[in-house]
Chain A
Amino acid sequence: MNSKTESNFKVMTGNAAAAIGATLSRPDVVAAYPITPQTEIIEQLSKFHANGELDAEMITVEGENSAMNAVMAASLAGGRVFTATSSWGLVFMYDAVLAAAGARAPVVMVNVNRETPGIIAVSSGQQDMISTRDSGWIFLIAENCQEIIDTVITAYRLAEDYDIQVPVMVHYDGFYLSYLSEVVDVPTQENVDKFLSVLNDQPARTILTPGEQTGCGSHGILDGYVELRYKHCMAMERAKDKIDQIDKEFSNIFERSYGGQVEGYRLDDADVVLVGSGSMCGTIKTVIDDRRKKGLKVGLLKIRMYRPFPSEKLIKHLKGKKAIGVVDRSLAFGFKGGPMYTELKAFSEELEGSELISFIDGIANTDITKKNINKMIDMTCDLAEGKDVPEVTWVSYGPQQGGE
């Protein structure tokens, strides 16, 4: 380890990493309600609050809807805020999630991905993320415990940036990461303060002030509504370059880099590529190393920023590849393929002939195993060779659906 950065290695779960990342960011107000698999975050934050490490107002709320309303109001009053939820909790705060985005409140929330109401499943899946996809929040997805702590800290730079002012949701896979213990290089408080201090030099955003007649979220007259939505969409576009820039600044201080919107793994000379997100990417990278040893030019494109959709980066990195397999841990009801596959399909023309296929796997804790990934790579290679390959494969399901 270099001498420039002081290192502090600790073994911790993904949830603990999220709680420490939030604490290091010095929030003014934390309001959250426990839900599996996020509960440990709240327990850790309560512990930090009790022992004086977290100097924040902790609001004990009776449910997630109140949690989001509390942090949104505190954010509009000028505070730095944090909350965390998962699955049913995210759905229970849905109206407030939309309101926070509409108010452009720079809330930072961790969502520990879990399957979503409809069928009760205490298991991993990104369906909760998909259920709030069009809420107007920025979505970041972390792959491992180190990336969780770093992404939570980064989320504040993005949400509170004067040019952005959009709430940020940090996603990571429940169970696979929430309870996985890994070595994490915990950033020092001094470095986090330095990294976030850029926000102090920006123009002050409008805040609620007692006694002042300033309001937020007023009844939008028709053209005013259009104006706000247009501004919001433009801010989402700006967030793409912004996270790339923030990632560089992060790297200057912490000497770790994630590539901003997307991360490429052995991608540049790859003929066939898998596109994925979250914890599955660790396994995919391992399989890619195995297959590379046997001479197969395969790579990974990891989606780190899912909203706004990093279309320009995806086109830049995927253009001209022989075949691309998109792995979704969620469903887009009404479309045969997964959500990320379906969205990437919209850029078929710009991808200049790169063929795309959809893999649905990892739903409700069905493990995305090395065997499964090898199968996906084989099928993507078949597609590259012009063989007849089904458009959509449910990798862990029955043979008729393309699985085992």
Chain B
Amino acid sequence: MTGLIAWGGDPRIVATRSEIERGSAVVGLAQSRLIGEVQPFDFLVDPIHRVIFALHLPALLFRLEQLRWACGAAADAYLSTEARVAQRVHWLSRLVAQHPWLDIMVPGFIVEKAGAIALGAVVGTQFVAGDVSKMLARELVDVYPALTGITRSVGDNSQAGARALESQLKPFGLLEPGKAHLIAEFGAGSLAAPTSIGGMAARLQSVHEQNEATVLVEKYKHGKHRMFVVYVPGTRDKTALPTSDPFDLSDAVALLANPNQAASQQAVLDAMKRTGIKSSDQLLMVGYSQGGTIAGDIAQGHLGFKASGLVTFGAPIAQLNLPHSIPVLAVEHSNDIVPALSGSVNPLTSNWLTVEREVPTSIGELNLHAHRMSEYVSTAGLVDVDVNGGVQRIREQVMKLFHNYKLVDSTNYQYQR
């Protein structure tokens, strides 16, 4: 037993909350329409047929109710406790989204204060134990743009949250993304391909912990075929003021708000172009935290590269529209709030595996401890030995990408802003 909680990656079970809810809503509509057919006046016009119908109605309504119950039970069973609870508290964001008059009725300064309170609450989640912190952070990110009145969120909208945050803090000179430029390029010294997810995580950790913001690109060859593995670090500087590091907090927000403007994403794309990666090449994107979001954004396929796989650690990627044809492995910690910044929950699909572990924290210790890359290296080691069907399948699909390929070059690209 590894203690990991995993969902997705199993072709026999695919479920998305939106589809289950859609089915339930259609059933609910049928219930309402049937009840609407029982009007006292109609019994006066054609009593016999209306009576026949009324006699059948309780059984029909009961069966419809059973269907709705089945939808609810399925959603509960498929999607984690965290997802269930997050869904329950979505009422607030939906309320604001569905009733725009609330924005008009409530004075602007109160709304602004509510936004600031929500923002403070995201920070406050650091002090809340366990899964609850991540769940609260996810909900607050989701509801934040609606509260600020800048844009209305209908759920699962990290971009709206980040844009709202940007527009509030930019007047103070905070969260300016800027531009990245290359300062150094040198051989990384890797001798062989990683043989496990844990090995991949360890390699990513060494990239993340370099003195300068570094993107590692490995080139593999098998005959005429080429494969590239791109390792993208996470947020390295966590102050709100712009720094010389393109992987700072400003860029983490910019990345969620407008990925194309983020210096960190510019750096990764620059490194990939310098290496000469083409859309015909096999490509595995590996990223941690902010780097995982960049890796995921590139894996979506709209930036001229065609990814063959994606591995992320502690990254908000639920908001991305990733291809169903590539294996996706998302490693998260249940008490790490960073993946929750997506404002959503990773889907349960056959190609997308999410594995979770709760990192033990001491009393008074910030939950950001659970976001450390060293903790993710440990979790990756557990992924390597987990026997869950979905875990095995996606792990094998990711590692199979290296099959027959030989590492021929590995280059570190370092950037400053």
Q: Do A and B come from one complex?
A: no
**Which positions in B face A, CB cutoff 8 Å?**
none
